Amino acid sequence: MKMEALDVLKNRRSIRKFKQEQVKDEELALVLEAGTYAPTASGTQGCKIVVVQEEESLAAVRKLNAKVLGRPSADPDPYYGAPTILIVFATPESHAPHRDGAAVMTNLLNAAYAVGLASCWIDRPIQMFEMPEGKALLKKWGLSEDLQGVASIALGYADMPDPQPKERKADYITWIK
Ligand SMILES: Cc1cc2nc3c(=O)[nH]c(=O)nc-3n(C[C@H](O)[C@H](O)[C@H](O)COP(=O)(O)O)c2cc1C
């Protein structure tokens, strides 16, 4: 699927119901590559994108996110049953960890829509990866414990129609000229 860039930016919506079918590797590769081309402060590329698809790790991430929400279990699942979870981290090299990570996030979300995948920004990795359970996951994945969680993405194929966007607020833009 090839879409015009401005259509992608306007039409991408958060999807909160996913099919169980795993995303195709070739589509995921395009999404991840787009993420790596996001702007970063001073061009450090100070982010890391972790792709979680293995069952035990998916369950652990869902549970840890739910724990930050104050829920005793991952039911309801904060990732809406998505078969892939992307987690964006900032590395110690980043000059602007949360802003770099957010730039990577928006590239990933828009690229996902452009290739026909459904996605939703899922919050709370900041807290998740400050917790001992989060540090243990980083260790299990062979990653440095000094990575800072920024945000995550539920990724898969939509099992619901695209929601309608809210009207844009009238005073969103101010011109000074
Ligand atoms: C910083 C941030 C945190 C968000 N956290 C969540 C979340 O934890 N769960 C969720 O379902 N949606 C989350 N969202 C998605 C927003 O709810 C969604 O983008 C917003 O309602 C607008 O809808 P749209 O993405 O379809 O345009 C988050 C979005 C942002 C930017």
**pLDDT number for residue 28:** 98
Q: Which residues of 45-83 are buried (b: 16+ CB within 10 A; e: fewer)?
A: bbbbbbebeeeeebebbbbbbbbbeeeeebeebbbbbbb
Residue from 108, 120, 127 to probe ligand 1 pocket by mutation (most atoms less than 8 Å from CB): 120
pLDDT for residue 75 is more than 60: yes
- Residue with the smallest CA separation from ligand 1 atom 15 is 121
**pLDDT number for residue 74:** 96
Distance CA 114, CA 15 (A): 14
CA of 146 to the centre of ligand 1 (A): 26
Interval 133-152: pLDDT, tens:
999 999 999 999 999 999 99
Residue from 68, 110, 121 to probe ligand 1 pocket by mutation (most atoms less than 8 Å from CB): 121
What does the pLDDT average to over 48-70?
98
Protein residues whose CB sits closer than 6 Å to any atom of ligand 1: 13-14, 16, 120-123, 163, 165
Distance CA 157, CA 173 (A): 33
Residue 1's pLDDT band, with cuts at 50, 70 and 90, is low
What does the pLDDT average to over 71-83?
97
**pLDDT number for residue 65:** 98
- Residue with the smallest CA separation from ligand 1 atom 14 is 121
pTM: 0.98
- Residue with the smallest CA separation from ligand 1 atom 23 is 14
Interval 86-119: pLDDT, tens:
999 999 999 999 999 999 999 999 999 999 999 9
**pLDDT number for residue 2:** 57
Domains of the chain, earliest start first:
16-156 (3.40.109.10)
What does the pLDDT average to over 139-166?
98
Q: Which atom of ligand 1 is nearest to the CA of 16?
A: 11
Q: What is the mean pLDDT of the chain?
A: 97
What does the pLDDT average to over 3-12?
94
- Residue with the smallest CA separation from ligand 1 atom 29 is 121
Element (H, E) at 47: strand 47-52
